[in-house]
Chains A and B, each alone.
Chain A
């Protein structure tokens, strides 16, 4: 079902709040990129997209959720694209991504997702809803950016980004030298993943390794190597 722009902004705000817990109407007003009027809320309730909770919170209905999923997915993929490929600062991606989410077609979304190696979180560390392409994990188009556990043994690649929600994990990895732009080499996959980074060998569990996304050297690298502005 297609919804207009106001509604989709509302759903998006509600989705984001629900990821953190419960959504109060005033919070929705605060973060939505549109004016949240009582009429808008009423319309959304009427269309069966959202529902009032007895406790005074707002909640996405099942229908609302299925409508919001592609919007969120487009928004966050767009952020990922701008941040990693175009090297735009995380803070600046925001406005552009908000425009982006309204007009990209499903086919293009899928292409972007594949190009980026089916990322699972946005640069802010929030999960990106899975698309059909992620589930099928199309491998015919070779992805430019892949999680480092998909490298071949002995393959060298440059770190594109570390996509983790856990800040301590990010700090620990960067303290060990796993930073965007650094070359790493996959030394071992089993029973643990072993990477070489500078002159250090680092052992990781797969869960962590899957969050380190790298530029495959076979793929095209941007000028100057690192995807930094």
Chain B
């Protein structure tokens, strides 16, 4: 054995949404976020793998459509490929898209590093009746080719065996390139074809990086070839690099045409088994019953008709909750009983009762949908069409929104928060601690009005955690189903008003999960201008999951009109600001060319894992911040300056703004201070105030709008600084702060003048 073998590098590259991150997890055991839409990975992640006694560093990269980067995430991937000088390049490919795969392979070949080609998702390929001759493919490029299904770990062993046996690929276009360029990449020892394309695409920043990474001196022999690019040639005055590019592209297209014809096999395919017509109709019938049930229930609750879920709750309370009460009480398990079934007198809903209610609403919709998706290609095809056409897509979006509203607004923000905040923390834990801890400083710090437990932990664990948890769950299902990118089609025209295009819907929708993460996802957009506009809009008016949950929860407690007003106002401001920003910020709208991933049945394990990891991240990041913020409030409360405490001073200082301009009660100033520290902390404070009944409906609407438009939280701000720089970040905040208060005040006056909500 050689002493201390060097760490080798393996880079995973491939088109977007082909399963690089899923393979990464299998190879390294480290979790990288996996979803069914292009652009989930915007940064590189690294992990470790030991194979046959050799240690490898595995690098996961964002998806690329080609090696000529056109957005920030693609640039990251291309740079890594050039900088890291990998020992093995593993190209991960969607097996059913052979042509695109090979086009990228042709470019990777020029780098002349050992390669392995992974044909992933062979199950989907076979279901569509396609088969690829992997041996012929391996021979064509002279590299190992492995078939896998990354989500199930199929073919992993073959991949592990192939990585150490990776070989430098043959370049099938060698002759053509020599003809066009005068020399081949092998002779020049440079990825010549790629260099010519980089020159043509004309991103100077990337060109400079390429020069740096490849070395100026190495480029000098081919410089005459590149210098041509500015000189006009022929009576068309085309740049030389463009004609070279077109000639190369032409050769590539010809090669691909041939290759696809010879490599594809037909006949051995195993298309998906179709449901019998009877079964198909039965499941479709069930699905429509599910929709009917949902509509009946939603309308029924508004107009106090009898609805299935209300019956069910009454039945549960009468026949299960009441008879068991004595049993639980006898065993001194009052608390458990209350958490499970709620209090029959107060109509407060227990966790168990709520779970049954939500299941009754969700199951008749989700079960037939998933069964049909899995077993019927016909349905999958139909569903794909329905979700992207406005006539059917908008009602489907409506149903999805109602389901999310039920899950996050009711189950999360009402029932779970009720059980945790009112019952567990409010009625048991905090009073018990108060009685245990002798009054004095410690008492004040832990369980006083601004106590670390009575406020900080209660807000974090009892209000925000259930809201965010249910949201992440719902969001995970939507992400993995491949539904979200379809919204891009429906929203393209609206987003064009704001100088963006349909692609920008992805960061916007992700912003509903967490604006901080979404701000990073703006990297998938094509131009710096679009990134700036999207970042501004995210910071301005996209409520994050906690805020959204609080809005949904408050709206569920007051009236749906609150919800529509808040969303209507915020959405109109987004469009307005976006439209103005598009006029002010120079530049052109970029092309909308966007790949739709196939719809898939989400895998429960992936969703649960993803939700759990997001929650763990959330707890790690949020709880300390909440405690810190609470301590700050506590100190302000303890600090006495003259007749008032620090908080009272601030409330006094903000009085003209909060009471005078927004017409909110003076104590809501606290909410805005909390909002500075974290968006969701402010939302939680507002939720708390609303639950105490301290606000009128108009005040609720004004406060919700203001706090939604209000500045981004600290974490989001720091990410904006990182992505856009200090000047732009401060400018964004400098715009948003007065703007949010202005809109809030105007809205309040308008509502009062119209006499709405009174």
Considering the chains assembled together, what is the distance between the CA atoms of A16 and B598 in angstroms? 45
Cβ-Cβ contact count across A and B, 8 Å cutoff: 165
In the complex, chain A residues whose CB is within 8 Å of the CB of B724: none
Q: Which residues of chain A are within 8 angstroms of B501 by Cβ–Cβ distance?
A: 205
User: Contacts A12-B235, A20-B237, A191-B390 given: A173-B489 contact, CB under 8 Å?
Assistant: no
Residues from chain A with a CB closer than 8 A to the CB of B242 are 124-125, 167
Contact B237 A17 (CB under 8 A): yes
Find chain A residues with CB under 8 A from B98 CB.
198
Contact of B201 among A91, A167, A187, A205 (CB under 8 A): A167
Q: Does B68 contact A (CB under 8 A)?
A: yes
Q: In the complex, how many angstroms separate the beta carbon of B53 from the nearest chain A beta carbon?
A: 38
B65 touches A191 (CB 8 A): no
Residue of B70, B96, B247 touching A168 (CB-CB under 8 A)? B70
- Using known A-B contacts A174-B249, A175-B103, determine if residue A168 contacts B592 with beta carbons closer than 8 Å: no
**Interface: B234 (CB within 8 A):** yes
Stretch at the interface among A26-34, A36-44, A62-70: A26-34
Taking CB atoms, residues of chain B closer than 8 Å to A175 are: 15, 65-66, 100, 103-104
CA distance A198 to B596 in the complex (A): 13
Q: Give every chain B residue within 8 A of A33 (Cβ-Cβ).
A: 235
A201 with B237, Cβ < 8 A, contacts A171-B201, A192-B489 known? no
Check: A119 CB closer than 8 A to any chain B CB. Answer: no
Shortest CB-to-CB span from B596 to chain A, Å, is 4
The answer to whether the Cβ of A126 comes within 8 Å of any Cβ in the partner chain is yes
Q: Which residue of A lies closest to B232 (CB)?
A: A31
A18 to chain B, nearest CB (A): 10
Report whether A168 and B201 are in contact in the complex, using a CB–CB cutoff of 8 Å: yes
Q: Across the interface, which residues of A come within 8 angstroms of B99, CB to CB?
A: 177, 179, 182, 198
The interface residues of chain A lying within 8 Å CB-to-CB of B257 are 179, 181, 226, 228
| Residues of chain B with a CB closer than 8 A to A166's CB | 591
**Binary interface profile of A, 2-33, with partner B (CB < 8 Å = 1, else 0)?**
00000000001100110110000001001111
Of residues 139 through 185 on chain A, the ones whose CB sits less than 8 Å from some CB of chain B are: 166-177, 179-182
- Decide yes or no whether B123 CB sits under 8 A from chain A: no
Q: Determine if B232 and A27 form an interchain contact, defined as CB atoms under 8 angstroms apart.
A: yes
A33, A122, A198, A199: residue with the most chain B Cβ atoms closer than 10 Å: A199
Known A31-B234, A175-B104, A205-B492; contact A199-B249, beta-carbon cutoff 8 A: no
When chains A and B are docked, how far (Å) is the Cα of A142 from the Cα of B103? Answer: 34
Q: State whether A191 touches B595 (Cβ < 8 A).
A: no
Cα distance, A174 to B490, chains bound together (Å): 24
Q: Is A90 an interface residue (CB 8 A)?
A: yes
Whether B235 contacts A16 by the Cβ 8 Å rule is yes
Q: Does B158 contact A (CB under 8 A)?
A: no
> Given the complex, which residues of A lie within 8 Å of B389, measured CB to CB?
188
Asked if B236 is an interface residue, CB under 8 A from chain A, the answer is yes
A3, B242: Cα distance in complex, Å: 32
Complex partner residue of A167 from B103, B245, B595, CB under 8 angstroms: B245
Q: Which residues of A contact B23 (CB under 8 A)?
A: none
* B100 lies within 8 A of A200 (CB): yes
Q: Is B388 an interface residue (CB 8 A)?
A: yes
Given A198-B96, A198-B99, decide whether A172 and B591 contact each other with a Cβ distance below 8 A. Answer: yes
A194 within 8 A of B: yes
**Residue in A19, A98, A199, A226 whose CB lies within 8 Å of B96:** A199
How far, in whole Å, are A182 and B232 apart by their CA atoms in the complex? 32
Q: Name which residue of chain B comes closest to A187, CB basis.
A: B385
B488–A203 touching, CB < 8 Å: yes
- Rounded to whole angstroms, the CA-CA distance of A31 and B502 in the bound complex is 43
| Cα separation A168 to B202 with both chains bound (whole Å) | 9
In the complex, how many angstroms separate the beta carbon of A167 from the nearest chain B beta carbon? 5
Closest residue of chain A to B234 (Cβ to Cβ) is A94
B721 within 8 A of partner (CB)? no
**A112 on interface, CB distance cutoff 8 Å:** no
A207 on interface, CB distance cutoff 8 Å:
yes
Q: Is the CB of A188 within 8 A of B388?
A: yes
Checking A13, A171, A174 against B235 with a beta-carbon cut-off of 8 angstroms, the contacting residue is: A13
A220 to chain B, nearest CB (A): 19
Q: Which residues of B sit under 8 angstroms from A226, Cβ to Cβ?
A: 257
User: A51 in the interface, Cβ–Cβ < 8 Å?
Assistant: no
Mark each residue of chain B from 501 to 517: 1 if its CB lies under 8 Å from any CB of chain A, else 0. 11000000000000000
Residue of B104, B243, B390, B593 near A90 (CB, 8 A) is B243
Distance between Cα atoms of A213 and B243 in the complex (Å): 20
Give min CB distance, B420 to chain A, whole Å.
42
| Interchain nearest-CB distance for B492 vs A (Å) | 5
Give the size range of A's interface with the partner. 35 or more
- B residues 263-317 touching A (CB-CB < 8 Å): none
B245–A20 touching, CB < 8 Å? no
* B492, A191: Cβ atoms closer than 8 Å: yes
Contact of B66 among A31, A171, A198 (CB under 8 A): A171
Residues of A close to B197: CB separation below 8 A: 171
CA distance A143 to B375 in the complex (A): 42
Contact with B along A79-94 (1 / 0, CB 8 A): 0000000000111001
Task: Indicate if the CB atoms of B68 and A171 lie closer than 8 Å.
Answer: yes
**The residue from A17, A19, A172 contacting B65, defined by CB atoms under 8 A apart:** A172
Does B324 lie at the interface of the complex (its beta carbon under 8 Å from any beta carbon of A)? no
Residues of B470-493 whose CB lies within 8 A of A: 488-490, 492-493
The answer to whether A202 touches B235 (Cβ under 8 A) is no
Q: Does B421 interact with chain A (Cβ within 8 Å)?
A: no
Interface residues of B in 201-219 (CB under 8 A from A): 201-202
In this assembly, does B758 line the interface, its C-beta being within 8 Å of a C-beta of chain A?
no
B572 an interface residue at 8 Å Cβ cutoff?
Answer: no
Write out the residue numbers on chain B whose beta carbons fall within 8 Å of the beta carbon of A192.
Answer: 488-489, 492-493, 502, 592
A204 close to B593 (CB less than 8 A): yes
Q: Is A103 an interface residue (CB 8 A)?
A: no
A89 and B488 CA atoms in complex are apart in Å by 38
Pairwise interchain contact B592-A208, C-beta atoms closer than 8 A = yes
Closest to A205 in B: B592
When C-beta atoms are compared, the residue in chain B nearest to A20 turns out to be B237
Q: What is the 8 Å Cβ interface bit string for chain B, positions 20-54, against chain A (1 contact, 0 not)?
A: 00000000000000000000000000000000000
Residues 103-136 of chain A, each 1 if its beta carbon lies under 8 Å from chain B, else 0: 0000000000000000000111110000000000
At the interface, yes or no: B128 with Cβ under 8 Å from chain A?
A: yes
A205 touches B591 (CB 8 A): yes
Asked if B563 lies at the interface with its beta carbon under 8 angstroms from chain A, I say no
Report yes or no: B595 in contact with A176, Cβ–Cβ below 8 A. Answer: yes
Q: How far is the CA of A170 from the CA of B103 in the complex (A)?
A: 14
CB distance from A59 to the nearest CB of B (A): 16
Q: List the B side residues contacting A123 at CB < 8 Å.
A: 246
B256 interfacial by beta-carbon distance below 8 Å: yes
Name the A residues within 8 Å of B250 (CB-CB).
89-90
Please indicate the chain A residues that have their CB under 8 angstroms from the CB of B388 in the complex: 187-188, 194, 203
- Considering the chains assembled together, what is the distance between the CA atoms of A180 and B253 in angstroms? 7
Is there contact, CB below 8 Å, between A177 and B200?
no
Complex-state Cα separation, A182 to B237, whole angstroms: 30
Chain A, residue nearest B65 (CB): A175
* Alpha-carbon distance between A173 and B70 when the two chains are bound, in angstroms: 12
Bound complex: CA of A19 vs CA of B235, how far in Å? 12
Closest chain-A Cβ to B153's Cβ sits at a distance in Å of 23
Interchain CB contact (< 8 A) of A177 among B97, B249, B252, B493 = B97
Closest chain B residue, CB of each to CB of A9: B235
Choose one: B130, B232, B235; the contact of A20 (CB below 8 Å).
B232
Chain A contacts for B243, CB-based, 8 A: 90-91, 124
Which 7 interchain pairs have the tightest Cβ spacing? Answer: A175-B65, A175-B66, A199-B96, A201-B596, A205-B592, A177-B100, A179-B253
A sample of 5 cross-chain residue pairs with beta-carbon separation below 8 angstroms, ordered by A number, consists of A31-B234, A31-B235, A168-B70, A171-B249, A176-B65
Given contacts A16-B237, A192-B502, A203-B593, 11 further A-B contacts (CB under 8 A): A17-B232, A167-B200, A172-B593, A174-B66, A175-B100, A198-B100, A199-B96, A199-B130, A202-B596, A205-B591, A208-B592
